[in-house]
Structure formats: C-alpha cells, structure tokens
C-alpha cells in the first residue's frame, strides 16, 4: 500500500500539515505527536488522519497527547476515524467529520462524457459565486469552501444564475484541494460531476494532485464516479 504513488503523495501532504515531525509508520499503526500549530484540525483540537494501514494524530499539548495515545492504542487503525469508536475511548466534547479523503491520478481519471452540462469559467471572486453560497446556506457553503479557491471557478449557469460551481485551492506538496457546491434545488442533475470534472482536469494540467475531501455521501459518489480513490479519512476531536 505504501508504494502506491497516490498514497505516498497523500501521506506526504498530511505529514507536512501536521506541522511537527511525524510520519505514517511503514509497518502500520498510530503515531501521536504534540503540535499546537497543527493544520490537521482547528486550534486546540486533536487531529486524526488515517491513510491506508497507518494514521497520524496531532494533539495540542503533552497531556492531551498522553490521553489520546493511550486511548487510540485500544483501537485498530481502521476505527480511529470512526466517531462511535472514538467516543468509546476518548472524552469527546465535539467532533468534526469524519471526512473521506480521495485522490485521483491522470490514468484513472474519468471525465464527464459528451453531452454533460456545459461548463464555463469565472474568476474565483466573482459575485455570482457568493450568490450561489447564499442559496446553499451558511453551513454547506462553509463546508465547500468555495470562497477559498485559488483556481478559476468552473460553473454551470442557466438564465444568468450559477447553479453549480467548483474550483480548487492550492495546498502544500502540489495539491489541489477541490471545492464543489450545487444549489439545493438543482442537485441530482450531474452538475457537481460536470464542474468537478473540469476542475480536476485543470488541476492535472497544472501538474497538481487533486484531493476530494467529503463527508456527504452524494459528494463521495461524485468523486468515485470521476475516478477518485478513497485512501482514508480525517477526523477532528475537541476533548472534553
């Protein structure tokens, strides 16, 4: 598993985001490190990223790291991002996730076929994107993160209205973190797949690794339809 090029790149990304010396153990298992500046989770939280048969975990301080290390040692790697399992062994105040982490390689990419909805480009700061976010609501817009993209926005429009949009934000290690958002009343029409396909193709043309992070099953299905492979998951934990 560790020799899979996608796995190697994905692990390198999250090791850097840990902001402390830690790595996915080649023999599997869970590695816990103290990292107050971790980008695996909100400040002061515990961040857990499992990829394949290994996981890395960041804790905000020594006491939290000790608690987490002892608790997660009771779980198999496959359960460290399972909310029910984590609640059994840790004093949890709040959770974010889990979110599936999926990645695509050029030779596995399945772009949308001819006849898919037409996709246009807009600047990432275009006001029509903000209108789409209002239609989707604050929670879904925040989850998508469309306001953070550094690429152009790839959109499907009708009557001057943006029905769906996607783009990506450039992350470390040459990663394109993809954002996708569709207006609620236009879902189920293949719009996310069309805009996500255009975004992924743009990322490949720029030499980047497309990353699709999703909690919602519908979004995960779109990624899989485009040829993304789910390699693991991310979970953030605020300790009680």
Domain 106-231, CATH homologous superfamily name and number: Gcn5-related N-acetyltransferase (GNAT) (3.40.630.30)
- Close Cβ partners of 29 (under 8 Å, ≥ 6 residues apart): 53, 54, 55, 77
> Is the per-residue pLDDT at 1 higher than 60?
no
Q: What is the pTM of this model?
A: 0.92
Q: 54-59 and 29-34 as β-strands: parallel, antiparallel, unpaired?
A: parallel
Domain positions in the chain: 5-100+233-239, 106-231
- CA-nearest of 18, 28, 24 to 78 is 28
- CA-nearest of 108, 120, 95, 84 to 212 is 108
CA 237 to chain centre: 16
CA 232 to chain centre: 10
- Close Cβ partners of 158 (under 8 Å, ≥ 6 residues apart): none
CA distance 147 to 43: 21
Q: Is the peptide bond before 98 cis (omega within 30 degrees of 0)?
A: yes
pLDDT tens-digit map of 126-136: 999 999 999 88
CA distance 41 to 119: 33
pLDDT band at 2 (very low <50, low <70, confident <90, very high): low
Q: Which residue has the higher pLDDT, 92 or 138?
A: 92
Percent of the chain at pLDDT > 90 equals 83
pLDDT tens-digit map of 213-229: 999 899 999 999 999 99
Q: How much is the mean pLDDT over the chain? A: 94
């Amino acid at each position: 598993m560790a020799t899979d090029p996608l796995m190697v790149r994905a692990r390198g990304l999250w090791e850097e985001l840990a902001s402390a010396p830690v790595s996915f153990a080649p023999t599997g298992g869970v590695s816990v490190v103290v990292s107050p500046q971790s980008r695996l989770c909100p400040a002061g939280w515990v961040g857990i990223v499992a990829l394949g048969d290994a996981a890395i975990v960041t804790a905000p301080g020594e006491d939290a790291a000790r608690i987490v290390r002892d608790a997660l040692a009771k779980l198999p790697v496959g359960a460290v991002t399972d909310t029910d399992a984590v609640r059994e062994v840790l004093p949890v105040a709040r959770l974010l996730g889990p979110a599936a982490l999926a990645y695509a390689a050029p030779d596995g990419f399945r772009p949308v076929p001819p006849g898919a909805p037409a996709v246009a480009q807009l600047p990432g700061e275009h006001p029509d994107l903000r209108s789409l976010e209002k239609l989707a609501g604050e929670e879904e817009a925040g989850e998508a993160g469309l306001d953070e993209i550094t690429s152009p926005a790839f959109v499907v429009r009708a009557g001057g209205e943006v029905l769906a949009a996607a783009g990506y934000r450039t992350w470390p290690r040459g990663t394109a973190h993809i954002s996708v958002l569709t207006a609620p009343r236009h879902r189920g029409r293949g719009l996310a797949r069309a805009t996500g396909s255009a975004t992924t193709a743009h990322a490949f043309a720029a030499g980047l690794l497309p990353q699709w992070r999703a909690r919602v099953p519908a979004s995960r299905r779109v990624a899989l339809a485009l040829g993304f492979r789910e390699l693991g998951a991310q979970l953030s934990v605020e300790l009680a």
